[in-house]
Amino acid sequence: MATIRSSEITDHRVYLNRRTFIQGLIAAGGATLAADAAWAQRPAAHGRRLTTISSPLSTTEKPNTWEHVTTYNNFYEFGTDKSDPATHSPKFKPVQPWTVAIEGECAKPGTITLEDLLKGETLEDRVYRHRCVEAWSMVIPWVGFPLANLIKKVQPTSKAKFVEFTTLLDPSQMPGQREGVLEWPYVEGLRMDEALHPLTILAVGVYGEVLPNQNGAPLRLVVPWKYGFKGAKSIVRIRFVERQPRTSWMINWPAAYGFYSNVNPSVNHPRHSQSTEARLPSLFRTMRTQMFNGYGEQVASLYKDLDLRKNY
């Protein structure tokens, strides 16, 4: 049994006063759960099922529960606490029909509805490891389809070197956007070869069901070898560009959040060691973090000519 140094749990102590999360831990530990107003916020699986096939690219690790996946995460548009997305997003109504603007360096720019985007797609269950900068991790059973399928349809030009993803801007529905915690709207980006990689998906569901609001309804990005924040939520624009996009987190704190943000145990975040992680519901960082979150065999070749200490 490894000895746990107090420094290894400091990051988590910051979140220990998050009531819903603590109760989640108690529940996971099998203790009796007190009936409590906050816990009543816990979303139940809503039952809007999707038809899916399972993917050979799934990990065989056991997924975290629906409760973990949907009550402990980040979606700053709804607040900065880990429990805020679940608490403050239920009233959010994704615009119907949801549309995505396809812009920039491609042969077929235009506006596409989510329904059209899904035409001809087979939805896959993709069970992926998910590693956050704050040093916790989960295993999440996403439902989605390869981003590459969409990219091929809209035919990027030879000038398209990067893909930029933008989240909905709607301060009337997203209270976090009335605060200056990040530059809004939330922007993320990938290099073209990362975007085309078969592990990279656009997700529309989790646990076989339509995405709940807090996980990025109705459409979000999932890139399993990168830190969780690369997965932009509630996407309304996908733009093909020649230059590396300025992402919201790079603008917020460039020394901590680089463009690549590949999971890398040997490069520390200014505030956290990145060498170990706590697999929720455990609070202890007893797991060694793997290079590329364990997806090195599939993705390491993308970075063979890059110094990953400089390009963090």
Ligand X SMILES: Nc1nc2c(c(=O)[nH]1)N[C@H]1C(S)=C(S)[C@@H](COP(=O)(O)O)O[C@H]1N2
Residue 229 interacts with Mo ion (CB under 5 A)? yes
Beta strands at 53-54 and 136-146: parallel, antiparallel or unpaired: unpaired
Binding mask 232-271 for Mo ion (x = CB under 5 A): ----------------------------------------
Residue 21 interacts, among Mo ion, ligand X, none and using kind-specific CB cut-offs from 5 to 8 Å, with none
Given the complex with Mo ion, which of 55 and 131 has the nearer CB atom?
131
Beta carbon of residue 137, minimum distance to ligand X (angstroms, whole number): 10
Cα 101 to chain centroid distance, Å, stands at: 21
Given the complex with Mo ion, which of 76 and 303 has the nearer CB atom?
76
Residue 77 interacts, among ligand X, Mo ion, none and using kind-specific CB cut-offs from 5 to 8 Å, with ligand X
Given the complex with Mo ion, which of 229 and 295 has the nearer CB atom?
229
Given the complex with Mo ion, which of 10 and 54 has the nearer CB atom?
10
Lookup result for tokens 């746990």: 4
Residue 215 interacts, among Mo ion, ligand X, none and using kind-specific CB cut-offs from 5 to 8 Å, with ligand X
- Cα 267 to Cα 269: distance, rounded to the nearest angstrom: 7
Residue 228 interacts with Mo ion (CB under 5 A)? yes
Which residues contact ligand X by CB under 6 A?
73-77, 132, 167, 186, 215-216, 228-229, 231-233
Given the complex with Mo ion, which of 105 and 134 has the nearer CB atom?
134
Report the chain's terminal Cα–Cα distance, integer Å: 32
Residue from 64, 70, 74, 293 touching Mo ion (CB under 5 A): that is 74
Given the complex with ligand X, which of 2 and 14 has the nearer CB atom?
14
Angle, CA 299 vertex, CA 281 and CA 125 arms, to 5° = 50
Residue 73 interacts, among Mo ion, ligand X, none and using kind-specific CB cut-offs from 5 to 8 Å, with ligand X
Beta carbon of residue 275, minimum distance to ligand X (angstroms, whole number): 19
**Max Cα distance, the chain (Å):** 59
Residue 55 interacts, among Mo ion, ligand X, none and using kind-specific CB cut-offs from 5 to 8 Å, with none
Beta carbon of residue 76, minimum distance to ligand X (angstroms, whole number): 3
- CB-closest chain residue to ligand X: 228
**224: cis peptide before it, omega within 30°?**
no
Given the complex with ligand X, which of 211 and 241 has the nearer CB atom?
211
Beta carbon of residue 136, minimum distance to Mo ion (angstroms, whole number): 9
Contact residues for Mo ion (CB under 5 A)?
Answer: 74, 132, 228-229
